[in-house]
């Protein structure tokens, strides 16, 4: 049984397909900014930095079960209108606070959400949504069960990683919420993305991994 975790994909499903074909994981856990933008799928559009792109809805997956939490760059209005968590065959959206049991018995908690530092360049209700932030309601709805692994988009405040190039991402109140998650569950492993770089560390017996963006030259996936 091969289980992998990946960082931000941002709708780059071609790179995702290459990973699935090359590594052939049985399960892939994705740390947010997966790229769920159904209104953009198979359409040409101009992104927030002025580049023309075509967002292709072409996840070519038959065997890998993919579970992903939201990041800050998702179409939250469409996510709220979904009628199922299986948004593509074998591709499952995991809302904040949802857990799953891995075949080896480890329990995984998903806790997406983060602040968008680029929201000034986006349009509310079109490519930016206030639902991106972790809320008090999300915290109230956390389950009371043992958690071994957390999959999130951003990180709790206690993780000491090199963020000096990140700017005001460090002021994200979602990190305060994730600090509560850390203190509640004291997981042994934590994986997150959002910062588009690769780093690893340990805090109070929790081994954390920051995974890079799929389009960088740094490590953006790992087997666990």
Statement: residue 98 has pLDDT above 70: yes
For the ranges 47-61, 125-139, 152-166, 184-198, the one whose mean pLDDT is highest = 184-198
- pLDDT for 17: 95
Band of pLDDT at residue 58, cut at 50, 70 and 90: confident
* Residue owning tokens 């809320």: 135
Are the C-beta atoms of residues 62 and 40 closer than 8 Å to each other?
no
- pLDDT for 5: 98
Q: What is the tens place of the pLDDT at every residue in 74-88?
A: 999 999 999 999 999
Are the C-beta atoms of residues 58 and 17 closer than 8 Å to each other?
yes
pTM, whole model, 2 decimals? 0.93
- pLDDT for 84: 96
Nearest CA to 133 among 117, 121, 120, 145? 117
Count of C-beta atoms within a 10 Å radius of residue 111? 30
Report how far residue 58's alpha carbon sits from residue 45's, in angstroms, rounded to the nearest whole number: 17
Q: What is the tens place of the pLDDT at every residue in 121-176?
A: 888 888 888 999 999 999 999 999 999 999 999 999 999 887 655 554 457 899 99
Are the C-beta atoms of residues 218 and 7 closer than 8 Å to each other?
no
Report how far residue 211's alpha carbon sits from residue 57's, in angstroms, rounded to the nearest whole number: 23
Band of pLDDT at residue 47, cut at 50, 70 and 90: low
Are the C-beta atoms of residues 9 and 33 closer than 8 Å to each other?
yes
Report how far residue 1's alpha carbon sits from residue 140's, in angstroms, rounded to the nearest whole number: 34
Q: What is the tens place of the pLDDT at every residue in 1-38?
A: 999 999 999 988 999 999 999 999 999 999 999 999 88
- pLDDT for 168: 47
């Amino acid at each position: 049984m091969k289980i992998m975790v990946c960082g931000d994909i941002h709708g780059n499903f071609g790179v995702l397909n290459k990973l699935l074909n090359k590594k052939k994981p049985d399960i892939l856990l994705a740390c947010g900014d997966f790229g769920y933008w159904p209104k953009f799928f198979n359409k040409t559009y101009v992104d927030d930095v002025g580049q023309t792109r075509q967002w292709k809805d072409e996840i070519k997956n038959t065997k890998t079960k993919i579970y992903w939490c939201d990041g800050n760059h998702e179409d939250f209005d469409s996510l709220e209108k979904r009628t199922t968590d299986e948004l593509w065959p074998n591709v499952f959206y995991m809302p904040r606070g949802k857990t799953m049991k891995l075949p080896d018995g480890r329990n995984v908690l998903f806790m997406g959400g983060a602040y968008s530092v680029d929201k000034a360049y986006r349009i509310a209700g079109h490519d930016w949504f206030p639902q991106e932030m972790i809320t008090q309601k999300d915290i109230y709805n956390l389950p009371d069960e043992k958690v071994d692994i957390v999959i999130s988009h951003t990180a709790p405040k206690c993780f000491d990683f090199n963020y000096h190039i990140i700017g005001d991402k460090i002021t994200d109140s979602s990190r305060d919420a994730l600090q509560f998650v850390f203190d509640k569950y004291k997981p042994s492993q934590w994986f997150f993305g959002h910062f588009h770089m690769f780093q690893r560390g340990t805090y109070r017996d929790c081994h954390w991994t920051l995974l890079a963006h799929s389009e960088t030259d740094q490590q953006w996936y790992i087997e666990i």
